[in-house]
Structure 1
Amino acid sequence: MTEEVGCRSVSALKMALISLLFTLISLSTCRAQVPLIMWTSDGYSLPALAEPAAGEIVSGGKLVSYLKSALTTSPHTMVLFLQDELSIDDFTVYGGVFGNKQDSIFVNLEAALDASTPLVVPSLAWSAAGSVQELFQEELGVPARRVDLAGLTQLQLSSSQPSLLVFSLPYTSGTQSKELLRKSDETIGDVLALLKTRGLPYTAVYTGLRPSHVTENTHMTEGFAGRSLLQMSAEATVKPPILFNSTTSGPCILFWANVLNVSYEQGSPFDLAPLTFNNTISLDGSVCNETESRLVLNYKNVTGFQSFQLVFVMRKTFFPVSARDWMVMEHVVLNYDGQTALFNASRDIYTPAEYSFHCQRVSNTQSPLLVANSTTDNATKWTILFTDFQIQSFNVTGDFSYASDCASFFTPGIWMGLVTTLLMVFILTYGLHMIMQLRTMDRFDDPKGPAISVPLNE
């Protein structure tokens, strides 16, 4: 009887997880996120953690809170399975964990979840997904060890000492994706079986570095003319933002842009974005502290120059009038083959220190936000155009905060609407005034009395 009640409880838990996942899937308008699943070995369980609300995209800060709560009672041997690409669709399309078990390709993962009470995060922000390893390193206080199954057999691990083991799992979209997911599940099963053989308790996490499927809800996007920050179309390649982690203060600078065009002496524009958001760019020279942040992007062979740097200099300034700190961008600098082109940022590039700054267009031409420094002629040789530009240099928690946009509130469309409304109000007021001025006749011809006669002079 007790076993029957236990089976019913497990089944009810699985049904609740399935319902939560499908509710989140149906409510989500853009799936530019990755799922995350956390579970423990036999004999251990995660503490009671509040599941994400329906439609919530979990940020890096909330993931850290989940991890801190889990480490209070769970084993500190963390096994992190990082797949190149992963989406909820991989589970629902190919069966398994949350789909049809008859055609399951996640046999080992399903068995591990059956023996535990897992934490399921269907939508983890992809800016946080790219730094999952760093977040876990910071919380455990130990460096990550990237190993494979053969290397794991050579490691001497102890349950009394925390450790972070990272296993990289490949992924390729197309016809090979199903077979690669099956092999990933086999790898997960082999690793867990080896840890069980050693009698080593563990806490396991399975997630991806970026989504394998990016789809949008068509009825929400058709005819949509508004602005949505960092939201990509189904055909676009998702590019995670640049995240700079300081050795002393942790994550401190977030940067993203759709286009980073630079051109020298009226030459053809060169887009730096494909080189920037590929997880391989060097950030050497970047620094940040409580009052100043400097983001340095290092390139090679750009527009004919062997070495090239794009530098953003931001400062935190306290304004007594508003009684708060503001982030102000001071300069944008181009360093190329020993030469420097310095652009002063206009006063329009600013935001409260706890917010991020966004602008659809940042350029040194046509209502420029970047002005060439008068002390050098090199800046006049360059043309800069950044589109869908967004940056945050203070109070970074793993994902962009609320964006303060450079666009003024009174846009041309709003002015046209206001002028038209005022004109209509004026016409209505004039018409009402004319109606109120109408007067009736004070004398009328009485048909019962003598007729009004008008004598005519002969």
Structure 2
Amino acid sequence: MAPARAPHLRRILRLFALFLVLFHVFPTGDCDEQVPLILWTSEGASIPVQVAPPAGHIVEQQQLSSYLEKALNLGPKNVVLFLQDKMSLEDFTMYGGAFGNKQDSVYPNLESALRSSSSSLVLPSVSWPASNAVIAQIQDHLETSPLYMDPETLSQLRLNASSAALLVFRLPYGNGADLLSAKDILSENDEVIGQVLSIMKTQAVPYTAIYTALRPSKGASSVSWEAGVGGGRSLLQARDRYRERERERQRKVKERPGVYAPVEFKEGENTCILLWAKGLSVSILRSGRWEDHDLTSSTFGEGASPKLHGSSCDKSKARLVLNYENVLGHRSFKLIFGMSQRHYKVSARRWFTLDTLELEYDGTKATFNGSRSIYAPAEYSYRCESVTNYRWPLLVPRSNKDPANQWRVTLQDIQIQGFNVSRGQFSYASDCAGFFSPGIWMGLMTSLLMVLVLTYGLHMILQLRTMDRFDDPKGPAISVPQTE
């Protein structure tokens, strides 16, 4: 069986090489805008045969959704998604032994999986927006939330062939400046793939595996192709100088003192949403540790110009969308503040609440509820020293299965107003700390307890009575009649 699969694998690798040559000889657009996608099933499981696209064809999101739907309708419902940060065709042609040098291949486990699989699908050119939406498409089809895992966590999980599961394994990629480092990282990623597939094999659960990336690895292609032409070295030097200037600019922004202006969203000529925070950061749990990313400098301060497309506001609803790029390995990342305003009969006034705070990344949404703790009168702004979901949380994940349980959001010294903004300035702030804080309540209760103890002691002392007769030791003893 294995010898029969070997020519098939060589044809796949040669197909990658053919696509690479066609894209450089007959350019149909920017070849750096596509990533490959490989799909296969476990040994013994099969999916309907699908025809790969012709050479030079770029698979867009709708066509990719059709491929995935056909594969998941009749294939295994346990999906293992290996999502690499960056990947391009060049990674297979340079490191996959596509031209016969199999001893130098960094994909032995991937090749072994393809040989043992009875069904496979190779899409050499998928647009990166389509690959970014792979998680969302699989999630909608399986109706289950993604589980971000590592091999150690997978070994403790027990899967069931009758219930659907989406297991996501994030894989890193080299920075492209060093070919050896990129090769080593790809080799380590292949070892992770081998470990995961070995664990899946021990559980005897059929699965569908997908290997793709969030964006193309431009660094690898630029080194390999620019090195052979004049100006390649100068292009690399120019890129290094640009990165150095960008790091210097960010350092100066962070060190610049002073108070910066809030984020302002306008509907026409009128300002309807204001947001300010001293610190804004997010963290994600990966491999048992938290990875942090500070968004303060890219959101507030001089020189920061956050993208607000997708924001909206009216008299009853307000939505502020902060758009970012390349946050914790996610090419597309959004922070969405969803606010509403309504009239409450009990208090006989209108209040605004921060209903949800959503993190949208690469087609996945993590939702926090904040309506129970984050609110203010409609004509006021809301201000709080700290809004988090893990330390005295004011933000709560929507459910136990929501991806929000793998995230931490921290807003320090935040002030936000989504309604009744006048002259582009915050209204009077309603602070999240009430008049009777926990410390004040503790002091009052302790004082009340001490007053009660003192009152009881004084009452006991006042009940004491002095004797009205005294015994003289030199005289006869006093006789007290029983009748008295």
TM-score by length of 2: 0.46
TM-score with structure 1 setting the length: 0.49
Which structure has more helix as a fraction of its residues?
Answer: 2
